[in-house]
Amino acid sequence: MSSPTSRALLVLPYLRIQNANAISSPLTHGFSSITAFIGLMWALQRKLATQGIPLQLLQVGVICHDYEEQVVDGHVKTFRLTRNPVDKDGSTAAIVEEGRIHLKITLVFLLKQASLPDGSTALLIQDNQSALDEWARKLGDTVATMRVAGGTVLPGQPRPGQRTRPWMAVLPEDAEAQAQCFARWRRQWLPGYALVGRDDLLASRLTHLRERQPQATVLDAWLHAARFNHEAGAVEPASEEVGPSRPGVRWADPLRGKGSGWTVPIPVGYARLTAEPVQAGLVANARDARTPVSFVESVYSLAEWISPHRLDRVQDLLWRAETDAQKGLYRCHSGYARSDAQRLDEVMPDFD
């Protein structure tokens, strides 16, 4: 059976990306920004249109299996930079700092069937697995020719077991059946960690700071959560840590205790700096002279790396892009939600 609301998952497992962008924003580095994968989704959507594949990509999820940031270890890590060829006059070319990282990731796309002419038969159905397999193969071949977060896709390595190549599956419309399917699929993405949004942690951190500093801002909370904040006596020392030669005071971060999770600061989009976009053609050297241009700065939040087997729903894994033209906010939202989560707008109403 099919319906206009049928959804499917496209999974591109264990992609090897070489030299992806490791500078995700002016304030963060490491794993590539989630906006880069949203951009990949849109670029892939345009290629689908040229190939005549009637599918529409809606959301994307990222699972990281391995990474190797190209840095030189030391007291302060520095990027491994490349020497550019000499200039036309033979002089030494300037070095432009760039951060690179090698990744092994699995990409998960949520998609639906695009509009079909009247009288056409729906193709995104469970009984049409041969067509799904063919689409998955074509999409996998297409992504292999594209840039992923600025990096190059390397040829895949043979792996034992099932689901080692691109595959598609229609999501059951029944919530219980969908949860059962997802419980089976998520085991294929182990070992690895999925990146999920945690705006609620930023909200709780802001509430915590305002108990001591009533004038604390969201930026203060984000910076506070992005580092370790050790305090003396914040955590009770274990019995073996107390002795005649030990004062019995333990230094620790009270907000990063056992079970607090692997949280990281990330950029989640952009905010427009002007009241309205600049008219098309008025900004020199713009990429597209037919599209209005906006000058923006990065928008930041918190995220968490979670093992896929700890996710209960497909939506927990996925990110979507949303635009608020009135506020000039272009940001990515995660489908991950906790019942005990505190919303950021509850403590900062003018922040979206």
Q: Is the domain of 132 the same as that of 34?
A: yes
Nearest to 125 by CA among 162, 180, 168: 168
Structural domain contains residue 248? no
Q: Is the domain of 147 the same as that of 56?
A: yes
Structural domain contains residue 302? yes
Structural domain contains residue 254? no
**pLDDT of 1 higher than 70:** no
| 203-208: average pLDDT | 91
**pLDDT of 61 higher than 90:** yes
**pLDDT of 324 higher than 70:** yes
Q: Is the domain of 169 the same as that of 118?
A: yes
Q: Is the domain of 65 the same as that of 169?
A: yes
| 66-84: average pLDDT | 84
Structural domain contains residue 78? no
Q: Give the helix/strand (H/E) hosting 12.
A: strand 7-21
Range in 62-66, 213-217, 262-266, 347-351 the model is least confident about: 347-351
Q: Which residues, 6+ apart, have CB-to-CB distance to 167 below 8 Å? A: 10, 11, 13, 132, 133, 136
**Count of domains for the chain:** 2
Determine the length of the chain: 352
Q: Which two tokens stand for residue 332?
A: 């990515």
Phi, psi values for residue 267, rounded to 5°: -85, 140
Q: Is the domain of 172 the same as that of 143?
A: yes
Nearest to 27 by CA among 265, 334, 268, 332: 265
Domain span at residue 44 reads: 7-73+95-191
Structural domain contains residue 203? yes
Q: Which residues, 6+ apart, have CB-to-CB distance to 151 below 8 Å? A: 17, 18, 19, 20, 21, 32, 100, 101, 102, 103
Q: Is the domain of 31 the same as that of 169?
A: yes
Please tell me which residue, 96 or 310, carries the higher pLDDT value. 310
User: CA 228 to CA 253: how far, in whole Å?
Assistant: 6
User: CA 274 to CA 271: how far, in whole Å?
Assistant: 9
Q: Is the domain of 185 the same as that of 48?
A: yes
What per-residue confidence (pLDDT) applies to 158? 66
Q: Is the domain of 136 the same as that of 208?
A: no
Q: Which residues, 6+ apart, have CB-to-CB distance to 233 below 8 Å? A: 249, 250
User: CA 109 to CA 167: how far, in whole Å?
Assistant: 11
Mean pLDDT of the chain: 84
Structural domain contains residue 108? yes
What per-residue confidence (pLDDT) applies to 46? 93
Amino acid at 236: E
Structural domain contains residue 163? yes
Q: Is the domain of 281 the same as that of 167?
A: no
Structural domain contains residue 239? no
**pLDDT of 157 higher than 60:** yes
Domain boundary among 144, 167, 191: 191
**pLDDT of 121 higher than 60:** no
Q: Is the domain of 69 the same as that of 28?
A: yes
**pLDDT of 308 higher than 90:** yes
Domain boundary among 191, 212, 247: 191
Beta pairing, strands 71-72 & 147-148:
unpaired
Range in 84-98, 162-176, 257-271 the model is least confident about: 84-98
Q: Is the domain of 64 the same as that of 37?
A: yes
Range in 75-79, 123-127, 236-240 the model is least confident about: 236-240
Q: Is the domain of 134 the same as that of 157?
A: yes
**What does each C-alpha distance from 286 to 42, 49, 89, 297 come to in angstroms?**
19, 25, 29, 17
pTM of this prediction? 0.85
